[in-house]
Amino acid sequence: MPKRKRRCQESYRKLDRDMEGRKTSSLYVMRLKELREGLGISQSKLSVMSGVNVHHISKIECGRRLPNLETCLRLCHAMDVGLSDLVHFVKEEADALLSQLRSLDGGTS
C-alpha cells in the first residue's frame, strides 16, 4: 500500500476515535474528493476557484480535518454543487441521534 494512502487511512481511524464522543464523523461522509475528481479538477485548481488553501483541501479529503460551514460553502460554490451534494448524512445514525435528543427533551419535539 502506498505511504500516502496508508497515512490517509490512519487519519480516518484517528478522526473516528477523536470524534467518537460527538458522533460527528459517523453522521456524515465528506464527498469532496469524489465530486472534485468527477469534475476533472485538481486540488490546486479547486484551491484557486474556492480560495481554500490547497493543503487544507488535501487534509479534508484525507479525513485529517473537518471543514467548517464557511469552507464547505466556498467549496460548494466553486464546484457549483449544493451542500447536500458535498455532505452525505447517514440516515440511520442521524435518526438514532435525533431519537436520543428527543428523549432528553422529554419527547416534546
54/15: higher pLDDT: 54
Q: How confident is the model at residue 95 (pLDDT cuts 50, 70, 90)?
A: confident
Measure Cα distances from 99 to 21, 23, 25, 90, 104 in Å: 17, 14, 18, 14, 9
Half-sphere exposure of 27 (CA within 13 A, CB side): 12
Q: Give the domain 3-104 fold.
A: 434 Repressor (Amino-terminal Domain) (1.10.260)
Report domain extents, the chain: 3-104
Give the model's pLDDT for residue 60: 87
% of the chain beyond a pLDDT of 70: 65
C-alpha 68 chain-centroid distance? 9
Residues 35-94: pLDDT tens digits?
999 999 999 999 999 999 999 999 888 878 888 899 999 999 999 999 888 887 666 777
